[in-house]
Structure 1
Amino acid sequence: MPEVTPLPLAQLTTLRTGGAPSRMIDAPTSDELVEAVREVWSEGEPCLMLGGGSNLFAGDEPFDGTVVRVLTQGIERLEARPGFVRLRVQAGHNWDDLVAYAVENGLAGIEAMSGIPGTTGAAPIQNIGAYGQEIVQTLVEVELLDEVDHEIRTVSADELGLGFRTSALKHHYGSVPERAAVILSVTLELAEVGHADRPIEGAQLRSALGLRADQNVTLAWIREHVLATRARKGMVLDDADPDTYSAGSFFQNAIVSASFARTLPPECPQWPVSPDLDPLLVIPLENFDGYIPPQPSVPSDVKVSAAWLIEQSGVGKGFRLGRSRAALSSKHALALTNRGEATAAEIAELARFIQGRVLSEFGLLLQPEPVLVGVEL
């Protein structure tokens, strides 16, 4: 379990902010990861798990605790039902490297999530997704270390509370996770489709890539064009492009009630969100008279575009406050970027300004998507 000289989090996060922690431990194997985390938890000191640092907004002050860097690697191929393959992936494995592996091996289910930065272990926490694909669609289970009793458990996907960019494991701004744990590995089930052209399910993906409903393409074609689309938005990491010095989408697309959505301008992009219904109706056989009561009508919530709200509130791409070194991306209104040695305070100031503008114009308070450590909005 190698303890290393602490590095500033500004060097380890894509938003490029954050001071050095009191202590830093590198964990290149699963056993070392478990040992390190158990030790830190037993000592009762603050512990920050760090993968790719792509969904973290760290404050300027040094982190008063231990940072454990998850550096585990590896993909293990497992048996699955006919036509599918299961992959058990170590938590520290680069997510896009996993997508590349899947595409190279003709495995479908995560190709639309090409180019998303970060590690595989972080993917279920955020329930990452893009262009109509989400990890919830292929996730089977995770192996995790539980903070309550420090035991290792295998937990099925349906126990993780996976929702839109959230899970029971996520540390939301202003709250604590429903379940405190560290993911050690992730198991996905992907379809074996090979390398031939095939029809593309999902209108959102077809629309993003300009595909007709009857147009067939390969997994490799999808990956190539998703990467190009994300690059045009500054959403593929590139040291030469300051628009990528970000945590991706800084604000979540808001989920609101249908009645609130009707108060927004009709031009605001909106997508219905299917309500959660109880799929199981049990009627004791001795009480069944042939009548099945109808399911109650539950109004659908609505997802609204945070990017549209930001731009329509008068904050356009490239916007910055005075001489601040923080600015909106010149390519994407949802990405707050570090234009060169910006402090966390400068980025937080811009975030609060944007929240205030959207709240004033539309009555909606946007919520941050990254995990905030040592920062208040």
Structure 2
Amino acid sequence: MPLAECTTLRLGGPPARFLRATTAAELVDAVRAADATGDPVLLLGGGSNLVVADAGFPGAAIQVGTTGRRVDPLGDGLVQFTVEAGEDWDSVVADAVSQGLGGLECLSGIPGQVGATPVQNVGAYGVEVSQVLTSVDLLDRATGRVNQVPAEALGLAYRTSVLKGTDRAVVLRARFALTSGGQSAPIRYGELARVLGVEQGDRVPADAARKAVLELRRGKGMVLDAADHDTWSAGSFFTNPLLDETTLGGVLIRIAERLGDDVPVPTYPATPGHRKLSAAWLIERAGFAKGHRGPGGRVALSGKHTLALTNRGGAATEDLLDLAREVRDGVRGAFGVELHPEPVMVGCSL
């Protein structure tokens, strides 16, 4: 079976072996067995953050199909929401909101499974998983043991963690601390606050925040729809660049030289001593419009959002990578900023 059938980009060749684990015990056994024989392992969740080579994968592709959710009171208006790694992320968010639990609503509409969220430190609309994650259960592949690991030991940062880019551990389940009472987390993202008609920092009913986020994501082609090729993507293909103050100053000079001194440049707070630039803004100002086509017209930037690279039908992974290289090189040439891919590359690279 080609891995194109298991990814939202609908790209990728076949694995040497394919199996599906429906319980945590099956998942642990499957990974241990592959490790014992020295087979490479590719863990498949929703496939929403994977770019798989046309040649496929020379090992065991293990699809995580584990399910289960549990809510336990923690006191002081908090609950612990424990979720198995194979659960669909947006279904989990919807369930939390329906139970009157706040904290996940701004992460609505993100494709993929729960197990991937701490690896990537998934975030959107002013909220990151790191803000609510308390711990994960990990299979340590070096020792074969299952350990509960606190969130603070995961090195969670902007779209990354110590788990990203390594195959040393497998997420089996995650625990989140959420608030009871039906209110959202404070609304931090300006666009979302405007849609909701509130000030940044205000709270709203969690279901209202979820509805607003879903509408915003649909408008950008970021909610999966099999009939809409703008959603045949891996979501945001490039991360927003984080620049220190010195580097940012040089970039702002180049932007002014190219676009004029009076062009406002959106920047956002990030880690201490750094600011975040909008990758989508840079891509558009470098000359790549929504719908920009790649080789043969088989791939393109989304017609709704320049940060998504999409399969228009009949594409190969190399087509997508060629388009990604064109965009990356164009932004670097225009502004001196290096864009880095957000999806996990399997058997391929830029």
Q: Which residue of 2 aligns with 1:330?
A: 303
Identify the residue that residue 169 of structure 1 maps to in structure 2: 163
Mapping of residues 194-209 of structure 1, within 5 Å: 194=182, 200-204=186-190, 206-207=192-193, 209=195
Distance 1:155 1:200 in 2: 27
Cα offset, 1:140, TM superposition: 0.6
- Counterpart contact for 1:209–1:226, Cα < 8 Å: no
Name the stretch that deviates more: 50-59 or 71-80.
71-80
In the alignment, what sits opposite 2:314? Answer: 341
CA distance in 2, matches of 1:199, 1:364: 33
Q: 1:243 aligns with which of 203, 212, 230?
A: 230
Within the alignment, does 1:141 sit opposite 2:161 as a pair? no
Pairwise CA distance, 1:216: 6.2
Structure 1 contact 268–309 (Cα < 8 Å) conserved: no
What are the Cα deviations for residues 212-251 of structure 1, in whole angstroms up to 9, with x where unaligned? Answer: 2297632111111111110010000001110000000000
1: distance between equivalents of 2:282 and 2:67?
Answer: 40
Match of 1:350 in 2: 323
Q: In structure 2, do the counterparts of structure 1 residues 240 and 139 end up closer, same or farther at CA, with 3 Å as the change threshold?
A: same
- Provide TM-score, normalisation by structure 2: 0.93
Decide whether the 8 Å contact of 2:295 with 2:323 is kept in 1. no
State the SS of the aligned residue for 2:288. Answer: coil
Deviations 1:87-126 (A, max 9, x none): 1100000000110011000000010000000000100000
Residue 191 of structure 1, aligned match among 179, 199, 220: 179
How many Å separate the matches in 1 of 2:285 and 2:135? 41
In 2 relative to 1, CA 185–126 (structure 1 residues): closer, same or farther, beyond 3 Å? same
Moved over 3 A (4+): 198-201, 203-208, 214-217
**Which is greater in Rg?**
1
Structure 1 segment 11-30 matched on structure 2, within 5 A: 11-30=5-24
Q: Which residue of 2 aligns with 1:182?
A: 170
Aligned partner of residue 296 in structure 2, secondary structure: coil
Unaligned runs of 5+ in 2: 256-262
Within the alignment, does 1:273 sit opposite 2:270 as a pair?
A: yes
Paired letter, 1:192: S
Q: For 1:4-153, what aligned pairs fall within 5 Å after superposition?
A: 7-153=1-147
Report the more deviating stretch, 146-155 or 213-222: 213-222
Match of 1:259 in 2: 246
Structure 2 CA distance for aligned equivalents of residues 205 and 139 of structure 1: 25
Displacement of 1:149: 0.8
Q: Which residue of 1 aligns with 2:197?
A: 211
Q: How many residues align?
A: 339
Deviations 1:3-60 (A, max 9, x none): xxxx211011001100110101110011100000000111111100000000000010
User: What is the aligned partner in structure 1 of residue 336 from structure 2?
Assistant: 363
Measure the CA separation in 2 of the matches of 1:89 and 1:111: 16
User: Equivalent residue for 1:280?
Assistant: none
CA distance in 2, matches of 1:322, 1:203: 36
**Does residue 159 of the first structure (1) align with residue 156 of the second (2)?**
no
Going from structure 1 to structure 2, the CA distance change for 1:32 and 1:208 (only over 3 Å counts) comes to farther
Q: Distance in 2 between matches of 1:199 and 1:23?
A: 43
- Look up the match of 1:286: none
**% identity of equivalent residues:** 45
> Structure 1: where are the runs of 5+ without partners?
1-6, 172-176, 276-299
Offset at 1:207? 3.2
Taking a change above 3 Å as real, the CA distance of residues 142 and 205 of structure 1, as seen in their structure-2 partners, is: farther
Contact 1:27 1:69 in 2 (8 A): yes
**Cα pair distance change 1:199/1:350, threshold 3 Å:** closer
